[in-house]
């Protein structure tokens, strides 16, 4: 059913009648495990004709308040009041990721909670392929307004290895950890550029470099670089850091 963390918000925003309808919809969806309108209308436990249930569902789902920013962000703010539950040592960890569901390309931000990534904001991109810096800034900017007042760490896989993104995150006064490609160039203390694969990491070792230049592009601030290569992961020998 609906989490107790934000039942109060939903009751206040929807009103009693709409909230009860939402409870029935969520409960029915959890049983059916599919979201087709006609199937949901057929199974919804309301003693009216099928066509009336279908129209009632359509009207409910078209409510202006039922969107991410108007109602989900309120729920998220209420949820994050329990800082000890959703933060680690006072830090809220969020991850930016991109995934595809068939032809649907989704750019998503998730809250890391109990070793899981819980989606808290997403946008459907009207294109194929990777997201660009502007799109990444937009989705992160949306969720940062909700998380204001929290210390945030942004995590990103190699798709989000852009130094430009790192510079933007730094300007927002955020902590971040963006995984880099092993072909990325790093400027050593001697002023020599090396690819990360040449820094001497081997299975079972780690390194930390303070205030180094990442990539050969000019005008970027310096970042800290951490590297770790586990010997084994999930019972298998790792092939790269």
Whose CA is closest to 201, among 170, 178, 180, 173? 180
How large is the average pLDDT for residues 16-38? 94
- Residue ending a domain, among 179, 207, 226, is 179
Residues 77-122 pLDDT 10s = 998 888 788 888 889 999 999 999 888 999 999 999 988 999 999 9
Range of the domain at 202: 180-241
Q: Say whether both 171 and 186 belong to one domain.
A: no
Q: Rounded distance, CA 163 to CA 149, Å?
A: 25
Q: Say whether both 54 and 127 belong to one domain.
A: no
Q: Locate 33 and state its tokens.
A: 């495990």
Range scoring the smallest mean pLDDT among 27-36, 146-155, 185-194, 230-239: 230-239
Per-residue pLDDT band for 217 (boundaries 50, 70, 90) equals: confident
Per-residue pLDDT, 218: 65
What are the b/e assignments for 47-58, b being 16+ CB within 10 Å? Answer: eeeeeebbeebe
């Amino acid at each position: 059913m609906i989490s107790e963390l934000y039942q109060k918000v939903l009751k206040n925003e929807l009103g009693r009648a709409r909230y009860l309808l939402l409870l029935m919809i969520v409960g029915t969806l959890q049983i059916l495990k599919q979201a087709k309108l006609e199937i949901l209308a057929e199974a919804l436990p309301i003693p009216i004709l099928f066509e009336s249930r279908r129209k009632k569902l359509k009207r409910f789902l078209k409510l202006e308040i039922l969107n991410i920013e108007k109602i989900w962000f309120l729920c998220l703010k209420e949820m994050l009041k329990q800082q000890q539950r959703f933060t680690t040592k006072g830090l809220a960890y969020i991850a930016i990721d991109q995934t595809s569901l068939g032809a649907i390309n989704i750019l998503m931000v998730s809250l890391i909670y109990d070793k899981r990534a819980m989606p808290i904001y997403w946008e459907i991109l009207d294109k194929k392929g990777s997201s660009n810096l502007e799109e990444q800034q937009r989705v992160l900017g949306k969720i940062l307004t909700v998380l204001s007042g929290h210390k945030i760490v942004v995590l990103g896989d190699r798709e989000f290895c852009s130094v430009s993104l790192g510079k933007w995150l730094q300007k927002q006064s955020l902590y971040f950890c963006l995984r880099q490609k092993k072909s990325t160039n790093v400027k050593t203390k001697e002023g020599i550029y090396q690819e990360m694969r040449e820094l001497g990491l081997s299975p079972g070792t780690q390194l930390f470099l303070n205030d180094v230049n990442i990539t050969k592009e000019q005008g970027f601030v310096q970042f800290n670089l951490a590297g770790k290569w586990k010997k084994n992961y999930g019972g298998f020998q790792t092939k790269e850091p």
